[in-house]
Amino acid sequence: MAEAHQAVGFRPSMTSDGAEVELSAPMLQEIYLSGLRSWKRHLARFWNDFLTGVFPASPLSWLFLFSAIQLAWFLQLDPSLGLMEKIKELLPDWGGQHHRLRGVLAAALFASCLWGALIFTLHVALRLLLSYHGWLLEPHGAMSSPTKTWLALVRIFSGRKTMLFSYQRSLPRQPVPSVQDTVRKYLESVRPILSDEDFDWTSVLAQEFLRLQASLLQWYLQLKSWWASNYVSDWWEEFVYLRSRHSLMVNSNYYMMDFLYVTPTPVQAARAGNAVHALLLYRHRLNRQEILPTLLMGMRPLCSAQYEKIFNTTRIPGLQKDHIRHLRDSRHVAVFHRGRFFRVGTHSPSGLLSPRALEQQFQRILDDPSPACPQEEHLAALTAAPRDMWAQVRSSLKIQAEDALEAVEGAAFFVSLDSEPAGLTREDPAASLDAYARALLAGRGHDRWFDKSFTLIVFSNGKLGLSVEHSWADCPISGHMWEFTLATECFQLGYSADGHCKGHPEPSLPQPQRLHWDLPEKIRLSISLALRGAKTLSGNIDCHVFPFSHFGKSFIKRCHLSSDSFTQVALQLAHFRDRGEFCLTYESTMTRLFLEGRTETVRSCTREACNFVRAMEDKEKTEPQRRALFRLAVEKHQALLKAAMSGQGVDRHLFALYIVSQFLHLRSPFLDQVHSEQWQLATSQIPVQQIHLFDVHNYPDYVSSGGGFGPADDHGYGVSYIFMGDDTITFHISSKKSSTKTDSHRLGQHIEDALLDVASLFQEGQRPKPRCRGLPEEDSGHGGSCLPCHKRGSKATTKSTNY
C-alpha cells in the first residue's frame, strides 16, 4: 500500500547527509549471501514443517510404509529387490543375537529413503504444476480442458490436510523476465505521459542501455534467481524499506479501519480485551499452522512466508540500515495510555488470559490516576523521527532504560488506549471519517510505537483500528489477520448485555506493570525535536474517506467487467478531471504466486485508458464509442495485472537491474531516469479474503471498511479502496495540505462523478442512484452517503451480535 512512497524515495548508495557510501561487497558475494539467507530460512522452516507434519504425505505415511515393508519381509517377499540385503551388509555386525535388529534397521533405512524419494517427487511434480499460469490468462468464468486437467492434478498432489506452509517448498521461483520485453513494456507505459521529444530521448537511452549494460546486469540477476529463493524480494525489503532514512509515519505505515457503521460495544476496555484475545488466538493458530494457505480463485496457493513475522516483531533503527527483530514468542503486550507505558501479561500458568481478564487489566490502566513522567508522554515520537536520529537516541536509551525499552520492543504488539473517540458520527459524518483516518495514520505523533509490526488502537468510544509498519509484510497479510480479529471478537467472543466481555474477572491477577524511563537531558531534547517534526508531518496530511453507495461489485459483474479494472480506469478519469493531465499511476499487486514473492507495480495509466478519458471529455463522442473504448481500457488493465502477477511486470525487474548496477558501479542513464520517476497517483485495492467469516446479506454493516496510506509524492495522491459487500465501495484518499495542486476532498468528488459517468454508459445514460443505508444527511460532504437508519439501528447499536 504505502510502498510507492518508499519505492520512489530509496537511495541505495546515499547516506542521510547525502554522501556516497560504497556498496563494497562484490556482486557475486552479495548473490552468495542472498542465497545463504534463503537456505537458512528453508532449513528452519523444514524442521518446523517436519515437527508439525506439513508434507504432501504426512510423517504417518512413513510408519505405514515401514509397516508394509516389514509385513512383506515377514511374508518372505522383498519389495526392495535386494537393496535391504545390501544395507544389512553395510551395517555393523553386532553378533548373531542382533541379526533381527539389523533387519529392522535396514528396513527402516530403506523405508526412509523410499519415503524421502516419494516426498521429493511430490514436491517436484507440484512445483512443475504450480509453474503453469495458463489459467490466469483465460477469460473470467471460462476454464479450458488443460486447466481443468491441471487443477485436478494440483488437488491430487496437494494432499488432503493442507496447513499454512504446506506449499512453500513446492512454489516455483519468480522468473526473471526478458530484459528486452521489460524495456519495451516500460516505453509503452510512459508513452501516454511524455511529449514526443521526451519519449524519443527516453527511447534513445533505453536502446543504449540494451546495447551496453543490459546483458551483464541480466546475467547477474539470472545467477541470483538460480541460487536465492527470490531474485528481488530481499533487495526490495532492504533497499526500499530498511535503508530508507525517512520517518515511518505517513511515509511507510498504513492503517486498517474498524466496522464503518457498527461499534459492538462502547466500553473501551472491553473492546480492547476481546480484540487482544482474538489477535492472540490468531497467533496461536499461526504458530500451529492451522491457518489455511490462501488459494487464489480457490485453486492456486500463494506464498505464506510473510505470515511468519506478524507478531513479536520490531523494526530496529540503525545508522545506515534498520533491521527486523523477530522473537519466537512473547507473552505480553505493551500498552500506552495518557503518556504512560505499561507491560500487560497475556498468559497465566493455565494459558491465554480470557477476554474478561484482559478487559480487567486494561480497565486498571484506564483507572490509574498517576501522571506521566517528564517527556515520557512524548517518548514514542522518536519512532516517528528520521531513522538516523532515532538510531542514535536509541543507543543511549538502551543504556538508560534497557528494561522498559525491551518490554516495548519485545512485546507481541503495541496497544494504544486513546483518550479521544473516533469513527462515523451522525452530526458530521464526512469530517468524522476523515479525522478517524488521520488518527489511525498518524495520531498525535507520539501515541504510536511505529517500529512495532502493528499497533492496535482502541478509542475511548470502543472504536478500533490498526497502524501497520510496512517492511515485514504487505497489506493482504495484516488484512487477513484483521478480518479474523473483527469476526472473532464480535461474533464468536461477543459481549454481555452491559457491553463487557463475557466471563468473570480475575481479581488475583497482578496489576499491569508501569514502565519507568530514565531520560537524561540529551534524550529529552531529541524527543522535543522529534515531536515537532511528527506534529508537522501529521498536520500536513489531508485524509478523506467516503463510502460510495450508488453501486458496487455486483453491478460491475453484471456488466461482465473486472471490478478492479473498472475502478482503476474510472480513477484515471477522476484524476484527469482533477489535474487536467495524465500521470504515472502506481497500483500494487501481489507476486505471491512465487516463493517469497511480495509485490509488483501495475502501471494503470495506459494509452487505452487515456483514449477513453479523452473520449469522455469530448462531447462529440457517442456513448457506444465511449463504451467500446472503456472495454478496451479494462482489457488492457487486466492484461497488465495478469502479467504482473505472473512475474512479467516492469518495475521490480528494473529495480533489481538498478541495484546490480549500483553494486557494479556501472552507471546507466536509463536506469537513473527510471528511478527518478514520481508516482503522483498511488493506488491499491484492499482485498476481502475471508468473506465466509461475515454474513454480508443478513448483517451488511459488519464488514471491514478497509484502510489507507499516505501519498507517494508531495504533490500526489494516495488512493485505496475496498468493495464492501456487493453494493458499496469505500475509498480512502490522502494528500499533502502543503501542496497547492492536490485536495483529497476534491478528488473524492471527481471519483464519485467518474464512477457514475462510467456506470451510465451501461445504463442507457442513467446514473445509478445510491442505495440508502439509512437517514441521509443534508451535508454529508460526499454526495449520497448516509448513516444507519432506525430500522437497522438495533443492529448498529447492539453491544454484541452473534450468528
The residues carrying an active-site annotation are 470
Reduced to 3 states, what is the DSSP secondary structure of residue 385?
coil
C-beta neighbour count of 186 within 10 angstroms: 19
d(CA 296, CA 317): 35
Taking every pair of Cα atoms in the chain, the longest distance, rounded to a whole number of angstroms, is: 100
Contact in structure between 277 and 456 (CB atoms under 8 Å): no
Contact in structure between 690 and 484 (CB atoms under 8 Å): yes
Kind and range of the H or E run holding 796: helix 790-796
Let me know if 13 is exposed, middle or buried by CB neighbors in 10 A (0-12, 13-18, 19+): middle
d(CA 130, CA 597): 14
Extract the C-alpha cell encoding 239. Answer: 533497499
Residue type, 768: P
Contact in structure between 570 and 754 (CB atoms under 8 Å): yes
Which residue from 758, 728, 549 is spatially nearest to 633, judged by alpha carbons? 758
Contact in structure between 717 and 743 (CB atoms under 8 Å): no
Kind and range of the H or E run holding 728: strand 728-736
Kind and range of the H or E run holding 467: strand 464-468
d(CA 570, CA 784): 19
Kind and range of the H or E run holding 513: strand 513-514
Contact in structure between 221 and 657 (CB atoms under 8 Å): yes
176: left (phi over 0), alpha (psi -120 to 50) or beta: beta
d(CA 433, CA 543): 9
List residues bridging with 681 in a β-sheet: 585, 717
For 257-277, give the secondary structure using H, E and C. ECECCCCCCCCHHHHHHHHHH
d(CA 633, CA 631): 5
- By residue count, the chain amounts to 803
Reduced to 3 states, what is the DSSP secondary structure of residue 634?
helix
Q: Is the dihedral of CA 238, 242, 248, 251 positive or negative?
A: negative
Extract the C-alpha cell encoding 518. Answer: 530514565
Report the DSSP pairing between strands 332-337 and 414-417: parallel
Residue type, 370: S
